[in-house]
């Protein structure tokens, strides 16, 4: 890192109760290429849930006339997702806190991945009748909670798996793999199950839409299974700052995929149940504020601008159809192109992250989004949306990937799960901003195009907060609490 972090981890005295001498240390550069690949494939798998189940296909089916009026079905779906978001915001840091050992982290990721697969597959039972609406919506909501909990464990693997020198590259490849996986899953569903339906699945009783759930469940399982099997043996950072795990040269095989289980570095005992967990969480936040205010400021700033980044994808299709006159086919083509461009941005941004530091990548990406968004406000026609819309997506990818690495470089050793849980919580806490301001500006100015201004306000506020975020102590890759 230049001007921000060194490439070597600081040396700290062992935390009481930790026994680093009992576990073999992995090299500072992190896990093997095979383990990095398994980690990236997990994002490829879960992308099917985001793109197919939540965004473009299954929730559209649940809000169709077969289940009731659009107002009723949309209200039920939004209420269920709001409850899911509240559960995630309230419990994600505790899930991460309890997952800060190799065994518990692997268990949380594996169990929640299985719950995601089961919820997705069981959605096949949602027949096109009003009586099945609550079943379908409930499965989608529970699946969303399970995915978010698993993602906390997934993200917490990054610092030890990548090592400080290539954290940006690995994070970028993970995000990019997710974008690419979402594209292929969505394209196969749209052309194989929906239009023109080359698989030949009957449309009676909405069988083709319901079969989408089975396909998505299989997709998630196939791509997530390698990490689920090897999660226990992935590199792990203990409280003393040491990285424990197999040597990068030890490439796992199908015959012994998981490898030997890691010795579990001892962590302070968690006492007092749920109330004790929250007391410990608040103590961690207070300690972060005293020792590393950069971490607290970044959690706040990233929560704001990440909501703006989500708004770019949430309202991109709405603007394409409503303001720029795209047909449904053109919207789908644009969605595929947008995800490809975002993946490219994540790949390139990851390399720049390691060379320049994540702060520079995030700042440059947010500025690029602001410029592209302002141009789109005043340039009309489909070519304008193709150029500016793809530019927006190009900058979203690296901003998302670099945000994960920026936090990874600030997390105290042994607290990866807990702080990435806070990362999920802060993001959920402000997730109303971009949708709310989008609608507000549309209402105030009387045209859908001005909703872009609401998204830009959110991104701009997040950028300002990022610029106000103090830099971490010079020479430190992580800050000890």
Give the position of tokens 């509240």: 86
Write the pLDDT tens digit of every residue in 227-286. 999 998 888 877 656 676 654 444 443 333 333 444 444 444 555 566 767 777 778 788
Please indicate, yes or no, if residue 257 is contained in any of the structural domains: no
Same domain, 188 and 62: yes
The pLDDT of residue 273 is 62
Please indicate, yes or no, if residue 132 is contained in any of the structural domains: yes
Please indicate, yes or no, if residue 279 is contained in any of the structural domains: no
Structural domains counted in the chain? 2
Please indicate, yes or no, if residue 285 is contained in any of the structural domains: no
* CATH code at position 208: 1.20.1250.20
Please indicate, yes or no, if residue 266 is contained in any of the structural domains: no
Please indicate, yes or no, if residue 306 is contained in any of the structural domains: yes
Q: Which of 481, 357, 411 is nearest to 7 (CA)?
A: 357
Give the position of tokens 């917490």: 156
* Assigned token pair, 7: 């490439």
Same domain, 466 and 335: yes
The pLDDT of residue 31 is 66
Cβ atoms of 261 and 236 within 8 Å: the answer is no
Task: Print pLDDT tens along the chain (481 aa).
Answer: 333 333 333 333 333 333 333 333 333 455 688 899 999 999 999 998 988 898 778 988 998 889 998 888 888 888 888 888 888 888 888 887 777 777 888 999 999 999 999 999 999 999 999 999 999 999 999 999 999 999 999 999 998 898 888 899 999 999 999 999 988 998 898 889 987 789 999 999 999 999 999 999 999 999 999 999 999 888 887 765 667 665 444 444 333 333 344 444 444 455 556 676 777 777 878 877 887 788 889 999 999 999 888 888 777 777 887 788 887 678 778 888 888 999 999 999 999 998 899 999 999 999 999 999 999 988 888 899 999 989 999 999 999 999 999 998 888 777 888 889 888 888 887 888 888 888 888 888 888 889 889 899 999 999 999 999 887 655 444 433 3
In whole angstroms, give the CA distance from residue 261 to residue 246.
Answer: 9
Q: What is the DSSP letter of 233?
A: G
Please indicate, yes or no, if residue 328 is contained in any of the structural domains: yes
Burial class for 107, CB neighbours closer than 10 Å (0-12, 13-18, 19+): middle
Q: What is the pTM of this model?
A: 0.81
Domain that holds residue 390: 293-409+432-472
Same domain, 102 and 186: yes
Same domain, 199 and 297: no
Q: Does 257 sit behind a cis peptide bond, omega within 30 degrees of 0 on the bond before it?
A: no
Q: Coil, strand, or helix at residue 236? A: strand
Helices 451-468, 433-445: axis angle to 10 degrees equals 140
Burial class for 288, CB neighbours closer than 10 Å (0-12, 13-18, 19+): buried
């Amino acid at each position: 890192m230049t001007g921000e972090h060194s490439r070597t981890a600081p040396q700290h005295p062992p935390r009481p109760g930790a026994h680093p001498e009992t576990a073999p240390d992995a090299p500072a550069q992190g896990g093997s290429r095979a383990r990095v690949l398994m980690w990236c494939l997990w994002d490829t798998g879960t992308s099917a849930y985001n793109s197919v189940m939540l965004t473009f296909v299954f929730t559209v089916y649940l809000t169709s006339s077969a289940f009731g009026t659009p107002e009723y079905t949309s209200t039920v779906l939004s209420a269920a997702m709001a409850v899911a978001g509240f559960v995630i915001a309230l419990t994600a840091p505790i899930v991460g806190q309890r997952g800060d050992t190799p065994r518990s982290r692997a268990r949380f990721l594996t169990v929640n991945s299985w719950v995601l697969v089961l919820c997705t597959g069981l959605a096949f039972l949602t027949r096109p009748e009003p009586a099945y609406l609550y079943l379908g919506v409930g499965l989608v909501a529970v699946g969303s909670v399970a995915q978010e909990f698993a993602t906390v464990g997934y993200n917490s693997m990054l610092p030890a798996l990548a090592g400080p020198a290539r954290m940006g590259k690995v994070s970028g490849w993970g995000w990019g793999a997710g974008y690419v996986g979402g594209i292929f899953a969505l394209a196969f569903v749209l052309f194989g199950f929906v239009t023109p339906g080359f698989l030949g699945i009957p449309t009676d009783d909405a069988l083709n839409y319901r079969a989408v759930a089975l396909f998505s469940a299989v997709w998630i399982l196939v791509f997530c299974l390698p990490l689920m099997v090897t999660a226990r043996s992935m590199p792990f950072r203990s409280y003393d700052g040491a990285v424990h795990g197999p040597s990068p040269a030890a490439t796992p095989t199908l015959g012994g995929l998981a490898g030997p289980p890691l010795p579990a570095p001892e962590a302070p005992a968690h006492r007092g149940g749920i109330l004790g967990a929250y007391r410990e969480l608040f103590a961690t936040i207070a300690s972060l504020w005293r020792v590393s205010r950069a971490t607290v400021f970044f959690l706040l700033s990233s929560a704001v601008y990440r909501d703006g980044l989500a708004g770019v994808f949430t309202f991109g299709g709405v603007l394409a159809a409503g303001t720029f006159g795209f047909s449904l086919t053109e919207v789908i083509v644009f969605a595929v192109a947008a995800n490809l461009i975002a993946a490219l941005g994540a790949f390139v941004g990851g390399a720049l992250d390691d060379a320049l530091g994540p702060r520079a990548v995030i700042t440059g990406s947010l500025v690029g989004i602001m410029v592209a968004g302002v141009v789109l406000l005043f340039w009309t026609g489909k070519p304008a949306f193709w150029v500016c819309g793809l530019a927006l997506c190009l900058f979203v990818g690296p901003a998302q990937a670099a945000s994960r690495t920026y936090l990874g470089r600030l997390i105290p050793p042994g607290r990866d799960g807990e702080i990435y849980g806070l990362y999920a919580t802060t993001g959920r806490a402000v997730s109303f901003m971009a949708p709310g301001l989008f609608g507000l500006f549309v209402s105030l100015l009387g045209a859908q195009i001005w909703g872009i201004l609401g998204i830009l306000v959110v991104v701009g506020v997040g950028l300002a907060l990022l610029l106000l975020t103090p830099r971490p102590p010079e020479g430190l890759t992580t800050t000890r609490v």
